[in-house]
Amino acid sequence: MRVIKNLSRQYSAENLRDMAIRRRMYIHLTGDVINGTISLRGDTIYAFFVAPDKQGNGIGSSLLACVEEVASTQGTNKLSVDASITAKEFYKYHGYSSVKEERDRWYGVVITMEKKLQIPG
């Protein structure tokens, strides 16, 4: 319960808006409705969410493919993410491997996962 409260606080609408100013944020839209978000800073993925009623329709895969393409175009050869247990299987499905698993006091189980990227050219 505390973990969910902490995550909800960290990813409140206000914090996501502030994060979008500091980091590059990609959004999946239908008209002006936001279906999902993902953010990339350096070689790390943050703020990856698909709205619960839109999950399972390929939106998460397309957002992930988008940041992988941006990162590899920028010459990044490895992406990293601190995955929550809700997303571990999703990342595995997309070629990410677990490199570390920790129990964080505030955010519960955090699984660091990485994927090697192909650099174009």
Ligand X SMILES: CC(C)(COP(=O)(O)OP(=O)(O)OC[C@H]1O[C@@H](n2cnc3c(N)ncnc32)[C@H](O)[C@@H]1OP(=O)(O)O)[C@@H](O)C(=O)NCCC(=O)NCCS
Residues contributing to the site for ligand X (CB under 6 A) = 48-50, 55-61, 81, 83-84, 86-87, 89-90, 93
* Residue with smaller CB distance to ligand X, 24 or 119: 24
CB of 81 to ligand X, least distance (A): 6
Alpha-carbon distance values, 113 to 20, 38, 51, 102, 104 (Å): 23, 16, 22, 12, 15
* Residue with smaller CB distance to ligand X, 57 or 73: 57
* Residue with smaller CB distance to ligand X, 89 or 102: 89
CB closest to ligand X, residue no: 60
CB of 109 to ligand X, least distance (A): 11
CB of 111 to ligand X, least distance (A): 9
Amino acid letter, 33? V
Q: Which of 56, 61, 16 is nearest to 39 (CA)?
A: 16
Return the number of other C-beta atoms located less than 10 Å from residue 5's C-beta.
Answer: 10
* Residue with smaller CB distance to ligand X, 65 or 119: 65
Beta bridge partners of 44: 41, 80
Look up residue 9 and give its two tokens.
Answer: 């606080």
